[in-house]
A = this chain, B = another copy of it.
C-alpha cells in the first residue's frame, strides 16, 4: 500500500529545510539538490512541491507573513492604546530566535532581489506587512482621538515604517549595540511624540 503523504505538510518540511540552509549558508546555497538533501527527499520528488525556486521562496516568505500575523493576533486588544500599538510594531523587530531568523532571511533575500529582478515583487510583498502595520498604528491613534491635531497621516506612516525597519536592521546587524528594551523605548517615545500633550 503506498504511503499516504500529506502534501501540505511536506511543502512545509521543504520550506523549513530551505530556510535552515539560507540562514546557515546564504541564499545561493538554497539549490534543489541541497534542499532535497536537507529535507531527506529525492531530488526528483521536489518538483511535486515546488515547480520553481521562486515559488519556493514565495512560500517561505508567506510563512513569515503568517507568523507575524499570528503573533499580532495573539496580542491583547484591551488595555492602554500606545503600549499595545508598540507591541504590534515590535513583531517586526528581531528580538527573539524566530524574528531573528525571519529578518536574516529577509535581508539575504532583499540583497538578492537587487540583482535578480524576478525576486523584486516578492520583496515588495514582504515589505507590505510593516507598511500595513504602520498604517494601522497611525489610523488607531486618529480613531482613538489621541493623535496631535494636523498630523500628516501619509508622511507619518512612511516615517514609522522607515523607523521600525531601520531599528530592526540595526538590531539584527549589531545585536550588542541596541537591546530589545532600547528599541521598545524608541518606538514608544515615537508613538507618544505623535500624541496630543495631555492637559
Contacts and interface: CB of A to CB of B under 8 A. Distances in A.
Interface stretch (A46-54, A65-73, A185-193): A185-193
A164 interface: yes
Interface string A148-159: 000010010011
A59 B108 CA distance: 23
Nearest to A152: B189
A104 B182 CA distance: 28
Contacts of A161: 166, 170
Residue among A28, A114, A193 with the most chain B CB within 10 A? A114
A34 to B, nearest CB: 14
Interface stretch (A10-18, A82-90, A136-144, A172-180): A172-180
Nearest to A107: B111
Contact of A28 (B28, B170, B193): B28
A110 B170 CA distance: 10
B170 A186 contact: no
A118 interface: no
A186 B155 contact: yes
A95 interface: no
B162 A166 contact: yes
Interface of A: 24-26, 28, 104, 107-108, 110-115, 123-124, 127, 152, 155, 158-159, 161-167, 169-170, 172-174, 178, 182, 185-186, 189-190, 193
